[in-house]
Amino acid sequence: MKFQKTITLISYQVEYIDKRQPKPRATRREAVVLDGGRVDALQRLGIRPAGYITQQFEREGYTVTDVRRGDTLHALVDLADLWSRTTQAIALERTQAQLQAALEKLGSIQGAVQTELEVPG
């Protein structure tokens, strides 16, 4: 049996500048996508999506010059497929973290062995 959910995705085009950069500062553009549930929750709180997006950018140190609403899409998501892909992604992240830790440990062991070999005996 397939369980599916329809989600609404709303895109916004954000123009912003980084005032931490020396002048002349370039205007950057970035697409931001909010899901319909978040937009509904913001509206219940009396917050416009553009205001919320601006707040998030300002929290990171940027100055927003414009937020424009883009397209709205309705996507059908297969929940079992989403679960499978998510668990695979988590397993991959864990494996990569373990590999990185092993490489760091190997590097420190090699450094210690090389130091012992260099010490005149």
Number of domains in the chain: 1
Phi and psi, residue 53, nearest 5°: -65, -45
Predicted confidence (pLDDT) per residue in 19-54, tens digit: 888 888 899 999 999 999 999 999 999 999 999 999
Range of the domain at 63: 4-78
pLDDT score of 119: 62
Question: Is 63 domain-assigned?
Answer: yes
Residues 6+ apart with CB under 8 A from 5: 76, 77, 79
pLDDT score of 114: 73
CB atoms within 10 A of CB 76: 8
pLDDT score of 120: 64
Return the DSSP state at 83.
H
Give the chain's residues under pLDDT 70: 117, 119-121
Q: What are the start-end ranges of the H helices in 1-121?
A: 36-44, 49-59, 79-118
Question: Is 10 domain-assigned?
Answer: yes
